[in-house]
């Protein structure tokens, strides 16, 4: 299910970046949710939706392959544990959104936050973390997780934004299309940019869904049961 969740989260951001021409700036588990409650077992996961557009920044034009790694001078914002290193320096862009997906996947796969980010609450603590961080994933955290999955997460958590996987590249990764990961991604229907509202709503309404935190808690329960 982790690969399926990754594929759907990345698809949502890919659409936001490439079709809507915007960056989210607050990618975290609380801002994703299922369109309907998961049925459990081996049933396919419901569609994952991206919520909360309160910090969305609309770009002059949609992101392309050529501009996918560009950063804009923007004030730091977001949720500290999920903010990319460059965001604290006052720049933000599509790579910063992809960093957030990398942190979420690290949580889904290991039930931990990487790089000591559980201690990240403000600029001062963030500066300390990034000053001593080597940006290497901890293999022991990934016990029982495939090398493909770990390598995929690493591409999203590269130190330099320019070295991070773009949504287009990430969606082509073999891990997302292995057996059990769900069908290949279909490109969204193109929507004319002129049809976008001039100002996106501060918060989109949530359906009565089960958020990704519910999935994390469920996976943690299964992990604990297997270890006992």
- Of the pLDDT bands very low, low, confident and very high (cuts 50, 70, 90), residue 171 is very high
Residues 60-97 pLDDT 10s: 999 999 999 999 999 999 999 999 999 999 999 999 99
Query: Would the pLDDT of 163 be above 50?
Result: yes
3-state secondary structure of 145: coil
* CA-angle at 83, arms to 54 and 100, nearest 5°: 85
Dihedral sign from CA coordinates of 170, 175, 176, 177? positive
pLDDT for residue 1: 73
pLDDT for residue 43: 72
The set of residues, in sequence order, having a beta carbon less than 8 Å from that of 92 and lying 6+ positions away, is: 23, 25, 57, 71, 72, 74, 77, 84, 86
- Of the pLDDT bands very low, low, confident and very high (cuts 50, 70, 90), residue 204 is very low
Across the chain, mean pLDDT equals 80
pLDDT for residue 216: 52
Q: State the Cα–Cα distance between residues 137 and 154, nearest whole angstrom.
A: 7
Give percent of the chain above pLDDT 70. 78
Contact present, 103 and 11 (Cβ < 8 Å): no
Of all helices (H) and strands (E), which one includes residue 156? helix 147-156
pLDDT for residue 150: 93
pLDDT for residue 224: 41
Of the residues 26, 52, 97, 209, only one is catalytic, namely 26
- Based on the residue annotation, tell me whether 26 is a catalytic residue of this protein: yes
Mean pLDDT of 29-35: 88
Q: Domains in the chain and their CATH numbers? A: 1-179 (1.10.510.10)
């Amino acid at each position: 299910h982790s690969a399926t969740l990754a594929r759907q989260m990345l698809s949502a951001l890919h659409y936001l970046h490439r079709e809507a021409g915007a960056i989210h700036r607050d990618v975290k588990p609380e801002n994703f949710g299922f369109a309907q409650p998961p049925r459990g077992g081996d049933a396919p996961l419901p569609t994952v939706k991206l919520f909360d557009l309160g910090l969305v920044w609309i770009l002059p034009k949609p992101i392309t392959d050529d501009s996918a790694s560009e950063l804009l001078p923007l004030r730091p914002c977001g949720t500290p544990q999920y903010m990319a290193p460059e965001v604290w320096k006052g720049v933000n862009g599509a790579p910063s959104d992809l960093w957030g997906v990398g942190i979420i996947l690290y949580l889904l796969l290991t039930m931990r936050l990487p790089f000591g980010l559980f201690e990240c609450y403000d600029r001062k603590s963030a500066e300390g973390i990034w000053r001593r961080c080597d940006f290497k994933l901890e293999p022991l955290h990934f016990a029982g997780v495939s090398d493909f999955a770990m390598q995929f997460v690493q591409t999203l958590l590269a130190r330099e934004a320019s070295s991070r996987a773009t949504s287009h590249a990430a969606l082509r990764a073999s891990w997302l299309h292995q057996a059990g990961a769900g069908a290949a991604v279909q490109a969204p229907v193109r929507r004319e940019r002129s049809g976008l509202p001039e100002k996106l709503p501060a918060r989109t309404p949530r359906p009565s869904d089960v958020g990704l935190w519910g999935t994390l808690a469920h996976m943690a329960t299964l992990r604990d049961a297997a270890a006992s």
